[in-house]
Structure 1
Amino acid sequence: MKIKKQLAVLLTGVLALSTLLAGCQGKGGSSKSYAPASSIDWMVTSSPGGGSDIFTRMITDIMKTEGIVDSTFVVTNKTDGGGEVGRNEVANLKGDKASNTLLTFNSGDLMPMVLNTKNRSKNFKILAVMALDKQLIFKTEHTKQADFAEAIQAAKNGETIVIGGSKGDDVATYEAMIKEIGVTSDNMKYITYDSTSDAITAGLGGHVDFVISKPAVASEYVEAGSLIPVLALATERYSGKFDAPTLSEIGDYENVEVPVWRGVVGPANMSDEAVAFWSEALKKVSESERWKTEYIDKYKLVPEFKGAAEATEYITAYEKAYMEANGIQ
């Protein structure tokens, strides 16, 4: 079987490596010697309503309603510079602020960060990886093609097909897909938006032909009939309302899958005691029934909790593999 899913292969290798570190959940110190401030700042570097925003607000709600953390969470969406301004701000926090600020961080954030800036994962204290996510392609009422097989044929015939999506992992998945189906970015174009919710808005307005999205952001639009899933960028079909064929089902193609890890980090100057506290709090969220039913099951994610030590090894290895694959020093 030919392999054209380079990032997916890299991620698989990283997953295998990280399993060797299971059980190492702390970063040193005791969580008992740290007490969170009454107000915790939580930075999200994409727009409200996007996948990272949904992820963050689900975690904070579970932490509050289930008594895991008594503090008030102040979630700020800062998209300046494609999110780089917010990430750089968190990376450089010091003092008490450093132990009381969290940042939602996923592979879609890491990719453009290492491509476009000198910021690296070592500039953060990595607290947890919570889950793995995957993408689908959706059409709207404005889409001319009946399905994605027809869109592929149109692109091969010289027509221009436009796909809208977010940054990072969505771009990587799009690039892997067009390579597999044998079309160029001239015929199947990609427009990058600050968040998936912005891309969906563009699709609903008829500004793009198709939208690439994870299930969480698309869910309410699928239920309303505004978005229709036409392709699962995964090795298996989704079930239920996200049911759609994979690439191998619509033509002589290999399936394309670039899983997205979703995690939480803190500033580099976060204390070891605070790292231990937040990693344990996030573990409790991952074990809650609400997380399993209202997030993992509802949005078709893969449960994949890794505590601070294991997540640090995992993300560091992922970053190293991604940089090597892209010739980044």
Structure 2
Amino acid sequence: MTTTILLGRMARHACKFASPVMLGAMTLGVGLHASAAYAADDYPNKPVKYLLHVSPGGGTDVLARRMATELEEILGQPFVVENRPGGQTGVQLAAITTAEPDGYTIGSTTATHVAVMNAVFDEYDVDSVDWLAGLVTDPPVLVVHDSVPFDSLEGLVEEVKANPGEYSVSGTVDGSTGHIAWAMFAEAAGITEEDVRYVPYDSQGDSVTANVGGHVPIGMAWTGITRDHVEAGNLRVLGVLSEDRVSAYPDTPTFAEAGYDVDSSWQQFRGIIGPKGIPDEVKAKLADALEQITQTDDYKEYIENSNLNNRFMGPEEFTEFVKRQNELVAEWVERLGLDE
């Protein structure tokens, strides 16, 4: 017996004893429950906006477009990808948080969101959105342009200390995954802000483009977005922020192996968020479709080729994961003075 039917019978039974006000409230409650159930059963019955906080071309953009295509096949409605970069994710967040919480507006998310919610925004925090699903994790890697005169982390440290102010490192916005990853390494290596200037970009694609062009000689990036450039000889990867070496760069040491004590639990992640208050039934339907995609052979092959870690998390697990990341971010935002 469904909950809606049971509630309907209870309401009819209570008619003999309830006041008109009570009857109205009970009828409204049954109606709202039935409407929510119907909305979930019918979802989606029109196109869904899929808003990205990054420019086209980066790893988050590529993954989102793949997921959008697969979601359309499973759920039968277009998932329309729109790039909304800018404002240190603020442009996208403004559009998501002001949208109706009905499942027809969703968005990309990475660890950068958690970081800027601590370091940049007063109006947004991790409770401002619904964390719908986690998809992958991706360890940060430290890369350099092929022209630099060092080929190891130790060489990098010696060079920048000997030439303070001559080198810069790129990553995503202040307080983002890349920024915090660099800050962790710099602290472990004894590198100061006077030694190396951090240059923030709105997207990882823009940051790596600056590295490939030699405009910023050092970069904190991700395995998937750097591999082709490394194979082409434009970039060299010196270290990986991970507990273990990654398959794409089996000869590249982790930071710990190279002698730098950096917390390897800090990882880039990619997932999906939505406006706060999406009905649980709609969340579940979206999450079920996403999990189906992550179990296909084609998707697993894509993840392997992209050197990502396939880690699906449903709404509850993803929310708890994000809260743990948020604690780590809050600590580093305070240490870096980004909340002042």
TM-score (norm 1): 0.81
2:114 paired residue among 110, 122, 145: 110
Give secondary structure in 2 for the equivalent of 1:201: helix
Give secondary structure in 1 for the equivalent of 2:71: helix
Distance 1:62 1:194, change over 3 A: same
Matched letter for residue 135 of structure 2: M
Whether 2:72 is the aligned partner of 1:72: answer no
**Regions of 4+ moved over 6 Å:** none
Corresponding residue for 2:104? 100
Distance 1:240 1:121, change over 3 A: closer
Distance in structure 1 (CA, Å) of the matches to 2:110 and 2:74: 23
TM-score (norm 2): 0.79
Matched letter for residue 299 of structure 1: S
1:254 paired residue among 246, 256, 261: 261
2:311 paired residue among 304, 313, 320: 304
**Structure 2: 5+ residue runs without aligned partners?**
1-35
Q: Is the 8 A contact 2:48 2:105 kept in 1?
A: yes
- State the identity as a percent: 22
Distance 1:242 1:170, change over 3 A: farther
Corresponding residue for 2:26? none
Q: Is the 8 A contact 2:131 2:274 kept in 1?
A: yes
Give secondary structure in 2 for the equivalent of 1:192: strand
Corresponding residue for 1:149? 154
Compare relative contact order (CA 8 Å, sep 6+) and give the higher one, 1 or 2.
Answer: 1
- 1:161-207 CA-to-partner distances (Å, cap 9, x unmatched) read 21111131100100000000111121122111111111111112221
Distance 1:177 1:298, change over 3 A: same
Q: Is the 8 A contact 2:227 2:248 kept in 1?
A: no
Corresponding residue for 2:321? 314
Q: Is the 8 A contact 1:31 1:276 kept in 2?
A: no
Whether 2:240 is the aligned partner of 1:232: answer yes
Whether 2:63 is the aligned partner of 1:55: answer yes
**Structure 1: 5+ residue runs without aligned partners?**
1-27
Matched letter for residue 145 of structure 2: T
Alpha-carbon deviation of 1:324?
A: 5.7
Corresponding residue for 1:4? none
Distance in structure 2 (CA, Å) of the matches to 1:247 and 1:121: 29
Distance in structure 2 (CA, Å) of the matches to 1:314 and 1:248: 24
Where do 1:123-272 residues align within 5 Å?
A: 123-159=128-164, 160-167=166-173, 168-241=176-249, 243-250=251-258, 252-257=259-264, 258-272=266-280
Give secondary structure in 2 for the equivalent of 1:99: coil
Alpha-carbon deviation of 1:262?
A: 1.8
Larger radius of gyration: 2
Give secondary structure in 1 for the equivalent of 2:82: strand
Give secondary structure in 1 for the equivalent of 2:270: strand
Distance in structure 1 (CA, Å) of the matches to 2:293 and 2:92: 24
Give secondary structure in 2 for the equivalent of 1:122: coil
Distance in structure 1 (CA, Å) of the matches to 2:329 and 2:214: 34
Corresponding residue for 2:41? 33
Q: Is the 8 A contact 1:178 1:188 kept in 2?
A: no
Matched letter for residue 254 of structure 2: T
Give secondary structure in 1 for the equivalent of 2:74: coil
Distance in structure 2 (CA, Å) of the matches to 1:62 and 1:223: 29
Distance in structure 2 (CA, Å) of the matches to 1:31 and 1:243: 52
Distance 1:277 1:248, change over 3 A: closer
Alpha-carbon deviation of 1:30?
A: 8.2
Give secondary structure in 1 for the equivalent of 2:127: helix
Q: How many matched pairs?
A: 296
Distance in structure 2 (CA, Å) of the matches to 1:240 and 1:320: 30
Distance in structure 2 (CA, Å) of the matches to 1:254 and 1:195: 27
Q: Is the 8 A contact 1:38 1:70 kept in 2?
A: no
Distance in structure 2 (CA, Å) of the matches to 1:130 and 1:265: 11
Corresponding residue for 1:284? 292
RMSD (Å), alpha carbons: 2.5
Q: Is the 8 A contact 1:104 1:264 kept in 2?
A: yes
Give secondary structure in 2 for the equivalent of 1:131: strand
- 1:222-246 CA-to-partner distances (Å, cap 9, x unmatched) read 3322222222222322234564122
Distance 1:74 1:319, change over 3 A: same
Distance in structure 2 (CA, Å) of the matches to 1:320 and 1:213: 22
